[in-house]
């Protein structure tokens, strides 16, 4: 994450995970990511979770 923010000058990172992937959800929360919303990549897809963290929170 440090490389993305410091070297690449990104102001925000996002992660998309399946809701049933509890280990990934735990890791993202541990890293400081916040759940923003549920999304679907296409109308027929299952729900996914969109997490994000801003550079100030890292």
What is the model's pLDDT at position 46? 95
Distance (Å) of CA 19 to CA 4, 12, 35, 39, 40:
25, 21, 11, 11, 12
What pLDDT is recorded for position 13? Answer: 92
SS3 of residue 44 by DSSP: coil
- Residue 45 corresponds to which tokens in the numbers above? 């897809």
Tell me the fold of 2-57: Aminopeptidase (3.40.630)
Q: Which sequence spans correspond to the domains of the chain?
A: 2-57
What pTM does this model have?
0.84
Per-residue pLDDT of the chain (58 residues; tens, 9 = 90+): 777 777 778 889 999 999 999 999 999 999 999 999 999 999 999 999 999 998 777 6
pLDDT in tens, 22-38: 999 999 999 999 999 99
């Amino acid at each position: 994450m440090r490389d993305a923010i410091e070297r690449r000058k990104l102001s925000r990172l996002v992660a998309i995970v399946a809701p049933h992937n509890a280990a990934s959800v735990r890791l993202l929360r541990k890293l400081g990511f916040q759940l923003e919303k549920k999304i679907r990549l296409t109308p027929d897809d299952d729900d996914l979770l969109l997490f994000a963290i801003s550079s100030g929170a890292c």
